[in-house]
Structure 1
Amino acid sequence: MALHFLLSSVFIFFAISVSPTLSSNSEVNALHALRARLTDHTNVLQSWDPTLVNPCTWFHVTCDSNNRVIRLDLGNSNISGTLGPELGGLQHLQYLELYMNKFEGKIPKELGNLKNLVSMDLYDNNFEGEIPKSFATLKSLKFLRLNNNRLTGSIPRELSALSNLKILDVSNNDLCGTVPIDGPFGSFPIESFENNSRLNGPELQGLVSYDFGC
């Protein structure tokens, strides 16, 4: 009897340890925590059922063949609220599309944990505070659009390390200081930085007359 119990316990432990639903459940928890922060004005999140094994059947969520969340697309969904650290738990996320909503508050530094992220679109919201320096760890990032928000502070020089970054748009915020010149910043057009009245740098000469500082 004791041996049978021991073998059963080992089997259960092994089954749990290799179960593919573990990461899926953690992603459900992350998305459910996000949902709790939001006001869904037009009920676009009605399919987000936290009792399901994984979120792959939810609208606006895309999974890969292993039921891991790789895309969250809530663009132009008339959603308001804040983002929290839980989004950093979506470890396989490649596309984060939250543009044209009414998000407010700070952008969580935990988004820097999304090492597989290729595109982050947070434009046309009411985000405030600084651009997180943790974004410098997003080595796969190609597209970063933060324009038309209320962001302040300087552009983190750490972002110069993002060698794969092809598109950056931080226009129409309240950024200050100087624009980095290293890495991919040498290829971004003036339009990427315009309408930040306290921002200056080599790319902006003639666009603003002087730098107010940060």
Structure 2
Amino acid sequence: MAMRAIFYVAIVLVLTGTAPSESNMEGAALYALRRAVKDPGNVLQSWDPTLVNPCTWFHVTCDADNRVTRLDLGNAKLSGHLVPDLGKLEKLQYLELYMNNLAGRIPEELDGLKSLVSLDLFSNNLTGPIPPSLSKLSKLKFLRLNNNRLTGRIPRELTKLENLKILNVSNNNLCGTIPASGSLSKFSEGSFADNPRLEGPELIGFVRYDTDRE
């Protein structure tokens, strides 16, 4: 009986137009991040989950359809960890969380960010491997994971990122050899520097490119 009641409530919500909208669900995803971090500077104070959508929150940018396209929280003194819920932001183009004190793993669920152009997580305390699932971000141009404590191999799957212009995984604890095929073949040694356990024989013959963001 309880399950039947829940079913009827769901039908009523849909028919009355009060079912959660996409912007509501994106707000819930962002609020999950707020709950997972400590915010001593109160930069997330405006993130009120009772609002219709998150487009009025500081550091959040939306498009004309009230879909979240940008999250700017670089150098915000945040600590805590990333949440898988961020992968629900299907229209997000820029995820800027650099220069904080975030720890833990990079969620594999970030592969849901199908519109992502820039992933900036540099200068945190992130650990664990680079998720191979990031190779599904076909629009990705900027991937900066440097100055963390990441371990494991550089996923060979990342060579599939044909639009990648900037890559920086330096200053981590990565190991193995550097994939030299596909999109990774155009990056210089500087993109991989200061990983003591990383071997680089595949770097021979690399073309040097300027790795500063355009």
Same fold (TM over 0.5): yes
2:167 corresponds in structure 1 to 168
Code of the residue aligned with 2:132 in structure 1: it is: K
Code of the residue aligned with 1:129 in structure 2: it is: G
- Does the 8 Å CA contact 2:178/2:199 hold for their aligned counterparts? yes
Residue 16 of structure 1: CA displacement?
A: 2.6
* Cα deviation digits, residues 39-97 of structure 1 (max 9, x gap): 00111111101000000010000000100000011000011000111111111111000
Residue 11 of structure 1: CA displacement?
A: 10
* Cα deviation digits, residues 19-43 of structure 1 (max 9, x gap): 8x60010011101111000100111
Number of residue-to-residue matches in the alignment: 194
The TM-score normalised by the length of structure 1 is 0.86
1:93 corresponds in structure 2 to 92
Give secondary structure in 2 for the equivalent of 1:168. strand
2:145 corresponds in structure 1 to 146
1:16 corresponds in structure 2 to 17
- Does the 8 Å CA contact 1:32/1:48 hold for their aligned counterparts? yes
Give secondary structure in 1 for the equivalent of 2:167. strand
Q: 1:12 to 1:85 in 2, by over 3 A?
A: closer
* Pair 1:129-2:128 in alignment: yes
Matches within 5 A, 1:1-214: 13=14, 16=17, 22-202=21-201, 204=203
- Does the 8 Å CA contact 2:177/2:202 hold for their aligned counterparts? no
Code of the residue aligned with 1:50 in structure 2: it is: P
Q: Distance in 2 between matches of 1:108 and 1:118?
A: 17
Q: 1:50 to 1:204 in 2, by over 3 A?
A: same
Which sections of structure 1, spanning at least 5 residues, go unmatched? 1-9, 206-214
Q: Distance in 1 between matches of 2:13 and 2:127?
A: 47
Residue 189 of structure 1: CA displacement?
A: 1.2
Could you say what the CA RMSD is over the residues aligned between the two structures, in angstroms? 1.7
Residue 203 of structure 1: CA displacement?
A: 5.1
Q: Distance in 1 between matches of 2:176 and 2:190?
A: 17
Give secondary structure in 2 for the equivalent of 1:56. helix
Residue 130 of structure 1: CA displacement?
A: 0.1
Q: Distance in 2 between matches of 1:12 and 1:50?
A: 19
Bigger Rg, which one: 1
Q: Distance in 1 between matches of 2:12 and 2:86?
A: 33
* Cα deviation digits, residues 138-158 of structure 1 (max 9, x gap): 000000000000000000000
- Does the 8 Å CA contact 1:97/1:120 hold for their aligned counterparts? yes
Code of the residue aligned with 1:188 in structure 2: it is: F
Give secondary structure in 2 for the equivalent of 1:92. coil
Code of the residue aligned with 2:46 in structure 1: it is: S
Q: Distance in 2 between matches of 1:188 and 1:15?
A: 54
The TM-score normalised by the length of structure 2 is 0.86
Residue 160 of structure 1: CA displacement?
A: 0.5
